[in-house]
Amino acid sequence: MRIYVDYDDCLCETAKAFTWIADRLFGKKVPYEKVRFFSLKESFELNDEEYAQLMEYGHRPEVLMAYEETPGAAETLNAWLDQGHEVYIITGRPYSSYEASRRWLDEHGLKRIKMYCLDKYGRNRCTDQSDYNMTMEEYYQLKFDVAVEDSPLAFRFFDHLPEMKVLVFDRPWNRADQLPGANYIRCTDWNTINEMVDAMS
């Protein structure tokens, strides 16, 4: 099978890191469970300037490198590769954070995994032709069997694949809305995700 895997808050605990950063930069104390919106600007009630500062800080290489792995992520992805599945990490992170993001994967035992930056959230208008810069045209040519994603704002990228199973990584910001279809399944951890993929293979 071909499997799409999102990076932030699927492979690593990005929002947890941002709760710490928002406190450090602005004294905003928002517990992780209260991060109700995918938009951190809304969740932390930041103005434009504060939000820009938050994002800049959170994407510094040394900060990215410190993000904690979500338990079981690397083990599951490696098992999928061993079973012959094709795994694509497709992140909405800016292209400028590619190197640190790649290094994080390498240092967490994920050297064999392909990673691409796709402009999911309109943050990057990059015309760079690097191998890791995936254009929308390239993305829409790929057919996936399974996706692992936490962000409701990214679900629209699955509309063209109604047969695909979307395993929604359960997070506080995706609990309010109903999932878009019967092919969407909420999963609380990597064990559950692995079982779902096993059952499909």
Residue from 3, 8, 15, 97 touching Mg ion (CB under 5 A): that is: 8
Count the site residues for Mg ion by CB under 5 A.
5
Burial environment of residue 75 by CB neighbours within 10 A (0 to 12, 13 to 18, 19 or more):
middle
How much helix, strand and coil, in percent to the nearest 5, is found in the chain? 45, 15, 40
User: Is the CB of 8 or the CB of 13 nearer to Mg ion?
Assistant: 8
Rounded to the nearest whole angstrom, what is the least distance from the CB of residue 186 to Mg ion in the complex? 15
The CB-nearest residue to Mg ion is 8
Q: Does 9 bind Mg ion (CB under 5 A)?
A: yes
Contact letters for Mg ion, residues 99-138 (x by CB under 5 A):
----------------------------------------
Footprint (CB under 5 A) of Mg ion, residues 136-195: 150-151
State which of residues 3, 6, 38, 93 lies at the interface with Mg ion (CB under 5 A): 6
**At 40, phi and psi to the nearest 5?**
-70, -25
Task: Give the bridge partners for 88, in sequence order.
Answer: 4, 114
Which residue number, 15 or 82, has a Cβ lying nearer to Mg ion?
Answer: 15
Cβ 76 to Mg ion shortest distance, Å: 16
Kindly state the smallest distance separating residue 84's Cβ from Mg ion, in Å. Answer: 26
Token couple for 177: 């809305």
Q: How far is CA 36 from CA 3, 104, 120, 169, in A?
A: 27, 27, 20, 14
Query: In the bound complex, what is the minimum distance in angstroms from residue 145's beta carbon to Mg ion?
Result: 19
Q: Which helix (H) or strand (E) holds 50?
A: helix 48-58
Alpha carbons 74 and 71: distance in angstroms, whole number:
8
User: Given the rule CB under 5 A, which residues bind Mg ion?
Assistant: 6, 8-9, 150-151
